[in-house]
């Protein structure tokens, strides 16, 4: 039964539309259980009825026609109780409702399973049997598992408007998908789907601009793969038995078959581009293979998938190299990388939307740094259907609207105008000192790291750079950059900000920051080989980077060096020895270098408990609250499913920060906070109250945080902190901070939903 279940789930998953998914499901489930009828009702809350959407075993015309009032009958009972109803003889139940014309009258056994998504009943999956009998436990769990799977497909179809015959969910009046608010702002534009190469499932739909040309491309790609197979067959010829040799012939036949070639061409003529048409052909063939009972023949489905991938690769290689981005590009993808963002011409990027990622992922940080609105972790995003679609991304609330109505567009225009007015108010703070009402200065630094930007946003406003992430220059390169290339890069940032200090962090790859030329595959990358752990194991990479930094600072002397992911003092001791060695070597080579101040990042709980020992060895400490929150709360910062648990205002995070400040104070060292919390205006009084010495944040936060700073005194900040430390939950801390912002008239700094 498990194999059948898996097969049905896969088929439903790959079905091109909800209708197709439902018909496959009712047919397969009826057969698997040996029932007389399997049907799916969807709930139409507007009309207060359950509508029969698919059925196997009922007259064909019942679908769409049979409608059961919301709370009537056993369907109504199942939906109302949001629980399973399993009856051996439904006809004797007080709720039994004979549905005229549905053909259900003589059926005795009844199993109703609610289809639930996010605690809301979307419909009911029903099994009926003529003879009275109770459905066995394993049959019930089988149907429940499928209902869960179906719920996601229905919710998606509703939000995209694909579900005809039912109105959109009344809870979502303007049809949008919900994700995580990852970078503030509103972006309006056209969907541009980015996807990994040679992945059939990731290929989006696109209209074929010139169907004849697309057909030609497809034919050429097929011929290319056929030639590859022939070559391979000839090369292996002598080494294979006859029956194995026949495999090559079978592949060729499959590749040139009517169902592969003609069907794809037909799909291209129907309007899709070659890659999308190929994806659908392969999906259909796979579904057919899945239905074959003979396990050997069924396995041949894998060959179809493989052939499809090879043709796709050829199509993608043959695609034009220059990409035409829409004027207002909304980058859409399952997962979006820093490189894909960097590839969009500046000024054309209006927003970022992806199925994976969260507010604390690096793409979110990059988006905020660039001032580009982003909604990430939009789990139900129908990526393949969004190419060329008009869309709105609301980065304040994490919402995505597809084909928005005129009313929604008008509402967002109004919001954008409000936003501009608010920014103008903030603008008035430019050039004013970052100090409290009682004259206490708290320097605000900039987080940056984009190799591409000449004059980073926020550069005039900041006291310097508090965190220069060096990963991006490494990511956009096709190999480890050498000393000279790094030197040029660091020199530019040091010069741009001199004489203000610039804190450059050594390479912090691993976790969610992968280098294309240095793949690290781990089952648990955030607990794996990352940051200092990698550079400690590869002193040659570390030394090259440190040498480049030290040389870049010659004559400027505004460099500070920062070490990421520190978990133990040994790591610091080793790193300090290497830095000293790099300095000595350079001096011996005749470079007038100086040993810069070196700091450690506190972003792992172990470092919190040893903050004093780290401080004793270092010139300063810098708290990375993004990772610290993730490791303290055991919540993956990129996992949309647990994003609601990721809370930088959690009392445990506050206590950890207090402990770091105390530990550093014991050795007279300064503490900076450079995680996203530092740029959140709600946190400003807390961090100020704790005695943190400086804050470092994305450009978009500088004026907002300065606004708060200039509106409160240090005494008031300490008072707020005292109350926050009494809170037992993050929600309590956030509420308190929000109330404080409202009191000083700065509630508008934080939009609803953030």
Residues binding ligand PEP (CB under 6 A): 365, 467, 469, 508, 603, 624-627, 674-675
We find the least distance from the C-beta atom of residue 17 to Mg ion, in angstroms, to be: 42
Q: Which positions ≥6 away from 551 have C-beta within 8 Å? A: 483, 487, 586, 591, 593
**Residues 341, 358: Cα–Cα separation, whole Å:** 16
Q: How far is CA 26 from CA 4, 22, 23, 178, 478, in A?
A: 13, 6, 5, 29, 50
We find the least distance from the C-beta atom of residue 562 to ligand PEP, in angstroms, to be: 10
Residue 420, helix vs strand vs coil: helix
Nearest residue (CB) to Mg ion, 264 versus 696? 696
Instruction: Pick one of Mg ion, ligand PEP, none as the site partner of residue 571 (Cβ within 5 to 8 A by kind).
Output: none
**Residues 531, 627: Cα–Cα separation, whole Å:** 12
- Cα 431-437-439 angle, rounded to 5 deg: 75
Nearest residue (CB) to ligand PEP, 205 versus 603? 603
Instruction: Pick one of Mg ion, ligand PEP, none as the site partner of residue 49 (Cβ within 5 to 8 A by kind).
Output: none
Instruction: Pick one of ligand PEP, Mg ion, none as the site partner of residue 675 (Cβ within 5 to 8 A by kind).
Output: ligand PEP
Q: Under the criterion CB under 5 A, does residue 627 sit at the interface with Mg ion? A: yes
**Residues 263, 286: Cα–Cα separation, whole Å:** 14
Q: How far is CA 272 from CA 204, 212, 280, 387, in A?
A: 10, 12, 10, 12
* Binding-site member from 178, 394, 603, 670 for Mg ion (CB under 5 A): 603
We find the least distance from the C-beta atom of residue 233 to ligand PEP, in angstroms, to be: 50
Q: Which of 38, 50, 362, 727 is catalytic?
A: 362
Residue 138: CB atoms within 10 A of its CB come to: 10
Chain residue whose CB lies nearest Mg ion: 627
Instruction: Pick one of Mg ion, ligand PEP, none as the site partner of residue 56 (Cβ within 5 to 8 A by kind).
Output: none
We find the least distance from the C-beta atom of residue 601 to ligand PEP, in angstroms, to be: 7
Nearest residue (CB) to Mg ion, 166 versus 367? 367
Instruction: Pick one of Mg ion, ligand PEP, none as the site partner of residue 561 (Cβ within 5 to 8 A by kind).
Output: none
Q: Are strands 598-602 and 502-505 parallel, antiparallel or unpaired?
A: unpaired
Instruction: Pick one of ligand PEP, Mg ion, none as the site partner of residue 281 (Cβ within 5 to 8 A by kind).
Output: none
Q: What is the signed CA dihedral for 354, 360, 361, 362, rounded to 10 degrees? A: 120
Nearest residue (CB) to ligand PEP, 22 versus 509? 509
The question of whether 362 is a catalytic residue gets the answer: yes
Nearest residue (CB) to Mg ion, 135 versus 445? 445
Report the site for Mg ion in 33-72 (rule: CB under 5 A). Answer: none
Report the site for Mg ion in 632-691 (rule: CB under 5 A). Answer: none
Nearest residue (CB) to Mg ion, 11 versus 506? 506
We find the least distance from the C-beta atom of residue 681 to ligand PEP, in angstroms, to be: 17
Q: Which of 38, 583, 674, 727 is catalytic?
A: 674
- DSSP-assigned letters across all residues of 634-677: T--TT-GGGGGG--TT-HHHHHHHHHHHHHHHTTT-EEEE-SGG
- DSSP-assigned letters across all residues of 114-164: EEEETTEEEEEEEEEESS--PPPHHHHHHHHHHHHHHHHHHHHHHHHT--T
Nearest residue (CB) to Mg ion, 214 versus 627? 627
Chain centre distance of CA 495: 35
Residue 572, helix vs strand vs coil: helix
Q: Under the criterion CB under 5 A, does residue 624 sit at the interface with Mg ion? A: yes
Q: What is the signed CA dihedral for 175, 178, 182, 186, rounded to 10 degrees? A: 10
Q: Which stretch binds Mg ion (CB under 5 A): 574-582, 621-629, 637-645, 743-751?
A: 621-629
**Residues 156, 162: Cα–Cα separation, whole Å:** 8
Q: Which stretch binds Mg ion (CB under 5 A): 318-326, 433-441, 581-589, 617-625?
A: 617-625
We find the least distance from the C-beta atom of residue 701 to ligand PEP, in angstroms, to be: 13
Q: Which stretch binds Mg ion (CB under 5 A): 24-32, 100-108, 619-627, 712-720?
A: 619-627
Q: Which positions ≥6 away from 135 have C-beta within 8 Å? A: 33, 86, 109, 111, 127, 143
The question of whether 674 is a catalytic residue gets the answer: yes
Q: Which residues are catalytic?
A: 362, 674
Q: Which residues make up the interface to Mg ion (CB under 5 A)? A: 603, 624, 627
């Amino acid at each position: 039964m498990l194999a059948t279940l898996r097969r049905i789930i896969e088929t439903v998953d790959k079905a091109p539309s909800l209708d197709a998914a439902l018909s496959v499901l009712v047919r397969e489930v009826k057969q698997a259980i040996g029932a007389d009828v399997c049907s799916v009702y969807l709930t139409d809350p507007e009309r207060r009825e359950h509508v029969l959407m698919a059925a196997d075993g009922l007259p064909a015309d019942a679908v769409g026609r049979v409608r059961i009032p919301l709370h009537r009958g056993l369907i109504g009972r199942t939906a109302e109780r949001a629980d399973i109803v399993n009856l051996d003889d439904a006809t004797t139940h007080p709720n039994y409702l004979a549905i005229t014309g549905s053909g259900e009258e003589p059926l005795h056994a009844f199993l109703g399973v609610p289809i639930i998504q996010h605690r809301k009943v979307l419909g009911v999956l029903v099994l009926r049997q003529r003879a009275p009998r109770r459905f066995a436990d394993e049959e019930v769990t089988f149907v429940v598992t499928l209902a869960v799977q179906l719920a996601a497909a229905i919710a998606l179809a509703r939000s995209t408007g694909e579900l005809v015959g039912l109105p959109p969910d009344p809870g979502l009046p303007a049809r949008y998908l919900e994700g995580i608010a990852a970078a503030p702002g509103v972006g309006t534009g056209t969907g541009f789907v980015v996807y990994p190469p040679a992945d059939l499932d990731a290929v989006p739909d696109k209209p074929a601009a010139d169907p004849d040309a697309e057909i030609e491309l497809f034919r050429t790609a097929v011929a290319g793969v056929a030639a590859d197979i022939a070559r391979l067959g000839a090369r292996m010829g002598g080494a294979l038995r006859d029956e194995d040799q026949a495999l090559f012939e079978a592949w060729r036949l499959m590749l040139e078959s009517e169902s592969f070639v003609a069907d794809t061409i037909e799909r291209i003529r129907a309007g899709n581009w070659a890659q999308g048409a190929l994806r659908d052909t392969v999906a259909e063939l796979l579904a057919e293979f899945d239905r074959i009972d003979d396990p050997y023949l069924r396995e041949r489905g894998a060959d179809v998938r493989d052939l499809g991938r090879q043709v796709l690769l050829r199509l993608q290689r043959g695609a034009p190299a220059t990409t035409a981005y829409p004027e207002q590009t909304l980058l859409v993808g399952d997962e979006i990388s820093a490189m894909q963002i960097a590839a969009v011409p500046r000024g054309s990027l209006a927003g970022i939307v992806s199925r994976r990622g969260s507010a604390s992922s690096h793409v979110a940080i990059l988006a905020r740094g660039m001032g580009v609105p982003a909604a990430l972790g939009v789990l139900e995003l129908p990526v393949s259907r969004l190419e060329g679609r008009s869309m709105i991304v609301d980065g304040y609330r994490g919402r995505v609207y597809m084909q928005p109505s005129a009313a929604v567009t008008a509402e967002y225009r109004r919001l954008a105008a409000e936003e501009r007015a608010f920014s103008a108010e903030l603008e008035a703070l430019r050039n004013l000192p970052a100090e409290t009402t009682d004259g206490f200065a708290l320097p605000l630094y900039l987080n940056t790291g984009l190799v591409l930007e000449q004059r980073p946003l926020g550069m005039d406003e900041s006291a310097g750079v508090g965190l220069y992430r060096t990963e991006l220059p490494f990511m956009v390169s096709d190999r480890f950059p050498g000393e000279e290339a790094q030197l040029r890069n660091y020199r530019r940032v040091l010069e741009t900000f001199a004489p203000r200090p610039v804190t450059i962090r050594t390479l912090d790859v691993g976790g969610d920051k992968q280098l294309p030329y240095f793949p690290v595959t781990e089952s648990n990358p955030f607990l794996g080989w990352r940051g200092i752990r990698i550079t400690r194991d590869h002193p040659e990479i570390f030394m090259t980077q440190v040498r480049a930094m030290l040389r870049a600072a010659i004559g400027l002397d505004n460099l500070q060096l920062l070490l990421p992911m520190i978990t133990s003092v040994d790591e610091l001791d080793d790193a300090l020895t290497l830095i000293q060695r790099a300095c000595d070597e350079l001096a011996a080579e005749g470079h007038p270098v100086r040993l810069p101040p070196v700091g450690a990042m506190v972003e792992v709980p172990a470092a919190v408990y040893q903050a004093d020992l780290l401080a004793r060895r270092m010139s300063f400490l810098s708290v990375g609250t993004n990772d610290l929150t993730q490791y303290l709360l055991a919540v993956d910062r990129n996992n949309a499913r647990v994003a609601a648990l990721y809370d930088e205002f959690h009392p445990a995070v506050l206590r950890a920060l207090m402990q770091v400040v105390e530990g550093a104070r014991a050795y007279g060292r300064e503490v900076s906070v450079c995680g996203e919390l530092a740029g959140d205006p709600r946190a400003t009084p807390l961090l100020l109250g704790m005695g943190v010495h400086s804050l470092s944040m994305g450009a978009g936060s500088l004026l907002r945080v300065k606004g708060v700073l200039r509106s409160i005194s240090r005494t008031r900040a300490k008072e707020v902190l005292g109350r926050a430390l009494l809170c037992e939950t993050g929600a309590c801390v956030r509420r308190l901070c929000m109330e404080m912002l409202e009191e000083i008239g700065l509630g508008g700094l934080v939009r609803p939903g953030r």
